[in-house]
Every structure is written in C-alpha cells, then in structure tokens.
Structure 1
Amino acid sequence: MKKLLFIEANTTGTGMMAIQKAHSLNVFPVFITRDPSIYKGLEEQECELMICDTNHYEEILAAIKDAFHSGEIGGITTTSEFYIHTVARLTSALGLTGNPPEAVAAARNKFAVREKLKQSKTLYQPFYAGVKNEEDLVKKRHEFPTPCIVKPVDDSGSNGVKVCHDFSDLLNHSHRLLKVKLNTRNQPVVNMVLVEEYVEGQEYSVECFSFNGKHTLIGITKKQVGSDPFRVEQGHLFPADDLSSDVHDCLEEGALEILHTLGWLTGPSHIEVKVAEGRLFLVEFNGRLAGGMIPELIRLSKGIDLLQEQIKASLGIHPELHHPSGCYAGIQFIVPGTSGVVTEINPIKDQHVKGIKKTRLNVQIGDEVEAARNAYGRIGHTIAVGKDAKQVWSVLQETSKQVKIEEKEYSR
C-alpha cells in the first residue's frame, strides 16, 4: 500500500479529517510534524507519525528519503497554508503531483501576487506598495490613499489586516507588523507590509479547483464582513444569491485569469474578490481550501467533498467536481465586538425545523473574551440550509440573536 504524506495541518480539525479520508482511497497516511502536541485528536488517528523539523526543507526532504523507498510515496499534501510551499518543493523534488514551487512561492506573498497581476488589462488595478521600513513610509506618505488596507504579505486568517484612515494609523500599524519576525508556526516572516487602496463593495470568494492545469469553478460565496478597522468575516452564503450573469462571468473569468497568470496547476484555491468599475478586484489569493467552514457549505449545497478531492488530486487521481447546487447553505459566526465577560447564552430551539445543521460555541458563561481582530477571534457559529437564500439568512440572523452573548466592559 502506498503512503500519503501530510506535512503538518491546520489546527481546526480538518487535518485529522484528512487523515481519516486517506484510508478510503487505499493509501496509508503518514503525518509529519515538528510538534504533535498542537493537534487535538492526533493520537487517536490510524496513521504513521514522523517527527522532524518541518520548517527546514532540507531536513524534511532527507527524512522522507531515509524513511521511504522510491515508488512508496503516492502523494504529499497539507491542510495548512503555511506549508503549501514546502509541499510544492517536495513534490517537485520527488516527481509527484503538485504545483510548481515558484508559483506557490508567489502565491504565498501578497506583494508578489500584485506584481504578477499588474500587467492585466481586465483586472482592476489598485494602488499598492510594498514597504520594508518606516523610513520608506515617511518618504512616500503623500502617495498613500486613505483609507487604505495594511497587511503582512505572508500571514493567514486575516491576521494583521487593518483598514487605516490616516497616515498616523498607517504608520503605527506598519510599525507593529514590521516588528514581527516569526509567524504562529515559528517560521521567519517576510520583512514587508503591503499597503494598498481600499476598495468599497460587496465581497465574494471564488472557489476553484485545478488539476493538471485545468481550472474548474466550484462556485461563488457571498461574504458578510464586519466594520472597520479589522472587518472580521461575520458569515457566508453559498452559492451567492445576488449575482447578475454579467457579474458572475466577470468573477469567473477574472479568477481563471489569476490562476493562469500565477501558474497554478493542481488543487484548491480560494480567491477573495470584489467588483470595481465592472472588473474583478482581487482582495487576496489563497492557494488552499477556503476557511470559515466554506468547504462544509459547498458539501451541503452541492455534495462535493473538496477535502476528499484535494487528497485525490495529490495522489494524481482525477477529482470529481461537477455537481449542481441543491440548496443554499450559510454560516453565521459569533464575533465579539468588544472585550468583556460572557454573561448569557440562550440555546437554539427547533433546530431541525429551521434547517440548522450545526451549532458550535467555544465559550461558557463567565469566560472572558477579546474583541475579534481576525478569524481566530470568533467564538462560535451556526450553519443552516434551505431552498431560499433569504430564508437561510433570516434563520442565521435569528440564531445569532438566540445564541445571545452579552459582553460587558471590564478592567484588567
């Protein structure tokens, strides 16, 4: 039996699900990590565990070559965005299915993505600048539009992304970001922040899947985001219910152009976008499955298990991606708007009648919570399905009120 190698995983549980799904494809999973203690449930999985420093490519390549003979490895994959470049380098070195390392390196750097797309005549071209120090910011202060978006070039989960409304805010936030030297996985970060024009409008994400250079549109997600300055995502609806045929075509064609320009060949992509002046404006390109439970919404709506298809693609097996949408599926997150103490939780009633498929709450009465600055600050969610998009939205809004968490200011 061939082996499927997983290089680390995200920490929300998807990685453990992927290990389980590998068995159904007649391959034996091998989980390679530098620290198994960060993965809840890993000890319960039927898999081979390898421990090595996954943040050093040469070390992990040597460990794999020592442990497995030629032809024993069926594929290599990951559910963590922080390791997709490592996976690309490994598959390239070992002659396995994957993306070109140079394409993934660019995709993991938001400034590099802007540079690669700047010649496009069909995409909206925003103002942007890569800044490596505060001196550059001060010299170019009159060039920056306000408001603007300031973000690290290689983080994930909207971490560090902020809308800045004046130069002082821009300077202070850039200073904080440039002081960061290691990400949450203890990897060195690129010493640069991306400053770019803030574009108004409804945000969507285009979910695509590629195999051998052929790109397939899975669908378009409508996103609900919070207020400035951090604009944390509050909820999603799949498929989006408010797209004219012209806008749908604009988003699909623009997303496919981005994939082609970046040289993306294999696996999922999650492309966050808006429409500006009749053209696609790229918010961010992510060379991975969508977060925020969007793959689960797609499974409920279309019956496509994108995690399963990612594993198949990594093994060189043609994915099955063509299923019509059977319903709308949505998610509402519980996002603390202020720091405080949870004082009340009201359970949801009549969940089955309302089309509610799942609820999750990660806090209890008496817990202290912080105002959310990114996706990691969300403390729960509800997923619902239905034939009518407005009904799904209505149910989700209702459940967010029933799962009522009152927060009060407190001093630390």
Structure 2
Amino acid sequence: MARKALILIEGTTTLNGLLYVQAAQRLGLHTITLATDPTRYDYVAAEGIEAVRVDTGNLDALIRECSRLRATYDIAGITSASELVYATVAKLCRNFEMPGPNPASIERCCDKFIQRQLLAEAGVPIPAYRVAANATEVESAAADIGLPVVVKPAVGSGSMGVRLCRNVDEVAEHTTYLFGGKHTWQSAPRILVEEFAQGPQYNAEVMGNEFIGIATADYGPPHFVCREHICPAPLPDDDYKRIADVSLRCLRALGLGWGPSEIELRWTKRGPVVIEVNPRLTGGGIPQLVQLAYGVDLVTEHIKLVIGDERNLRTRHSQTAAVRFLIPDSDGILDWIGGDDRAAAVPGVAEVKLYVEPKMPIVRKLDYRDRMGYVIAVSSSLTETEAILQRAVDLIGWSMRPFPSIGE
C-alpha cells in the first residue's frame, strides 16, 4: 500500500511551517515539501523532511512534480503555510480534484486594492483608500485622504513595506523607498494609501465559516512591527459580537469560507473597521495562543480539512494566553543573548524560542522579520498571564555593538 502523504508548497522561516509538519506527522502523514530553495527552512533538515527543489512560481512545474509523486505516494492533500503561494496551492488542488480554497477568491483577496473594492461594495467598514502607480499619485492620494496616512504595497504580507506617514516629508520618503528599488515587489508596483484607523487592533480567527476567537495585536507605528498578542481579547460581549459579525461579512464579500482566514480590525470611534483580510492561517504565534486559550488546534484542523477528515472546532477549555516578541531597538552585531532557559522555567510559561545566536549581524527590516524570538505564557486570568509574561521576558537579555566603521 502506498504511503499516505501531505504535500506542503514552500514553508515559513517562522514557526508555522514546522507546526504544519508536526501536525501532519501526528495525523500519520508523511510530509513532502516542494520549494524553490528548501534550505531556507531550517526545520526541513532538522526534522529530516523529504524535500524537492522545484520552481514554485511555475504552476506547470508543480503539476508535473505532484504527478510524479503520485506514482509513489497516496497524496492525501496539498496545502501551504505561506500566503505567497496560497493561490497556486488552490489551483493545484483544483487540478488534482482535491479539497482546497477557491483560487479566484484567494487571488482577489491577496490584492489589497481589489480586496478594498469588494469590501466597500459590500458595505463593510474600511478606511478611506486610494491606489497609486507613481509618486505624484501617492502625494495626491495623501492630500485627498488627509494626514496621517498608511502607505503600503498593494500586494504583500508581514507588514513589509508598510509605514504610517504623519507628514508630507514622510510620505515622500517612504514613496521613494518603495519605488526606488529597495523594496522587493511581489507584483507590478502599486501603492495603497489609506486613512490611519486609530484605535486598538484585533485579529479575528475563522475556520471555514466558523468563528473561532479574537486576539489583541499590539503594533508599534510607524512601521507596524507586532510586539504582543493576547488571546482571547478582553472585550465586552457586544463588541465581540460586532467584530464576529463584521468578520463573517468580509468572508461573504470576498468569496471566502473554505479553510482558515484572519481578519485584522481596529476599534475606532465608529466601531470595528477592517484593515485587511488574510485568506490563510495566521502567524505571529496566534495558532499556539488559540490552542492554549481554547483547546482548538487550528493547524491540525486545517490539515484535516485538506485531507477530507472530519474537523472538531469545539472549545475544550478557557484560559488566557499571550505572546511577547523580542524586538531589537538598533542594528549591530549581537554580542550575546541569554536567559531563555530561566524564562522557560517560570511557572506558566508555555514556550520560549530564540531565532538568533551570538555574533550574528542584526539588520532591522522594520517588519515581522525583526523578531529575535518570543515568549508565550498562559494562565486562568489576563492579569496573571501578563505578570508571568513580564517576569519571563525580564529574565532574557542581550547586548549589541555597532557595526565597525569602514576601515576599522
């Protein structure tokens, strides 16, 4: 009998890729990663995962490789932890008549300008926005909307290239950065200029059409690098219901409703305003928080959906979980970092992870890639969880020295 396998297209340099591999293995599936460069993902070698080098930007090449693998394995499903290839994954699933999302819906959703148009047509509350193809159009859009504005690529993820601009000089500076060759574009260069929706941010998690829960998101403008998530978000019941209702309206407007989705919102003077909808499983430690807080394993339940097994999204318990990211405040050479073992030993700490090692160069990208590690804590109350988290984070320290000057 052929071995049952799950094909993962690309992976992630953060934790979700490994979570998919581990969940698949617990379900008795052999995992095969198809990637343009499998060595990008440390866990592939560390876990001894079968990997195939293939151009994942070439749908025909992926179809040929998956067809070849079907001669050896019983392919149970195809998916990915990466948003960058999720539309391609959807097309692969359609080609092999396997469960998967609607490719057209994923592609529309990944273009933030098209997403904005569809949400606006459906009457979903969103910030004022304009799309711009050059610096003059960006300047005009910012003037029309009114400062401050958020300036970001129309296609992208992980807060890459996203900045809050408070004045015309910052708008011009960031526009020059985006159009000037320093930013890596995932599509034709277009900039989205948006009203800055002021208020606390929340991430709503949905699987299919079932609302799972809400986490807080502490982003620090101007570059929106996430510092912390708390799950569940401490919200009154009425506010929780309003966010849930708006989130499900987003899915209907965008033609989603299969598999995981994340809706990012801010609570403003006019209530919940949708910042964007991500048509894939969230990152940033939220899957771990959801499992600790509710007992729902989003990664495993997504894989079950992919392979056609019955899901179980029933909440098993109620706790408060939080993650704090370790973010450097300068560039330089990391002389030392430590205390993670002591932090992990604090009662209530569920996980501590460091991505960096001494002597590594640290060059901030001003997005999710700046995370040097994280701490996750859980308890029966928000106050206790925050205290545990702070106690653990205070035990971790690091030191950096400036890069040497030229000639030193």
State which of 301, 305, 311 in structure 2 corresponds to 1:319. Answer: 311
Structure 1 residues 331 and 24, CA, compared in 2 at 3 Å: closer, same or farther? closer
SS of equivalent residue, structure 2 residue 157: coil
State which of 275, 286, 295 in structure 2 corresponds to 1:294. Answer: 286
* Contact kept? 1:201, 1:275, Cα under 8 Å: yes
What are the equivalent positions in structure 2 for 1:219-298 lying under 5 Å apart? 219-226=213-220, 228-241=221-234, 243-298=235-290
TM-score computed with the length of structure 1 as normaliser: 0.89
Counterpart of 1:194? 192
* 1:175 Cα offset (Å): 2.7
* Contact kept? 1:221, 1:240, Cα under 8 Å: yes
SS of equivalent residue, structure 2 residue 158: coil
* 1:154 Cα offset (Å): 1.8
Q: Which runs of 5+ in 2 are unaligned?
A: none
TM-score computed with the length of structure 2 as normaliser: 0.89
The answer to whether structure 1 residue 25 and structure 2 residue 27 are counterparts is yes
Structure 1 residues 266 and 295, CA, compared in 2 at 3 Å: closer, same or farther? same
Superposed CA offset, 1:229-272 (max 9, x none): 1131111111112x111110110000011011111132111211
Superposed CA offset, 1:181-220 (max 9, x none): 984xxx842321111000111111001111xxxx111110
* 1:68 Cα offset (Å): 2.6
* Contact kept? 2:155, 2:186, Cα under 8 Å: no
State which of 344, 347, 350 in structure 2 corresponds to 1:354. Answer: 347
* Contact kept? 1:268, 1:287, Cα under 8 Å: yes
CA distance in 1, matches of 2:217, 2:252: 25
The answer to whether structure 1 residue 398 and structure 2 residue 391 are counterparts is yes
SS of equivalent residue, structure 2 residue 321: strand
* 1:26 Cα offset (Å): 4.2
Structure 1 residues 350 and 91, CA, compared in 2 at 3 Å: closer, same or farther? closer
AA aligned to 1:60 is L
Counterpart of 1:107? 109
CA distance in 1, matches of 2:294, 2:325: 22
* Contact kept? 1:153, 1:193, Cα under 8 Å: yes
* 1:97 Cα offset (Å): 0.8
The answer to whether structure 1 residue 208 and structure 2 residue 209 are counterparts is no
Counterpart of 1:55? 57
What are the equivalent positions in structure 2 for 1:33-52 lying under 5 Å apart? 33-43=35-45, 45=47, 48-52=50-54
CA distance in 1, matches of 2:85, 2:304: 18
Structure 1 residues 245 and 61, CA, compared in 2 at 3 Å: closer, same or farther? same
SS of equivalent residue, structure 1 residue 405: strand
What are the equivalent positions in structure 2 for 1:48-127 lying under 5 Å apart? 48-68=50-70, 72-121=74-123, 123-127=124-128
SS of equivalent residue, structure 1 residue 301: helix
Structure 1 residues 16 and 407, CA, compared in 2 at 3 Å: closer, same or farther? closer
Per mean C-alpha deviation after superposition, the further-off stretch among 30-39 and 303-312 is 30-39
Per mean C-alpha deviation after superposition, the further-off stretch among 283-292 and 57-66 is 57-66
The answer to whether structure 1 residue 217 and structure 2 residue 211 are counterparts is yes
Structure 1 residues 40 and 269, CA, compared in 2 at 3 Å: closer, same or farther? same
Aligned residues: 402
AA aligned to 2:85 is Y
CA distance in 2, matches of 1:69, 1:350: 48
SS of equivalent residue, structure 1 residue 41: helix
* 1:337 Cα offset (Å): 2.1
* 1:171 Cα offset (Å): 2.4
* Contact kept? 2:343, 2:392, Cα under 8 Å: no
CA distance in 2, matches of 1:21, 1:158: 27
Superposed CA offset, 1:323-364 (max 9, x none): 144311111111112334556656264754531122223445
* 1:371 Cα offset (Å): 4.6
AA aligned to 1:359 is V
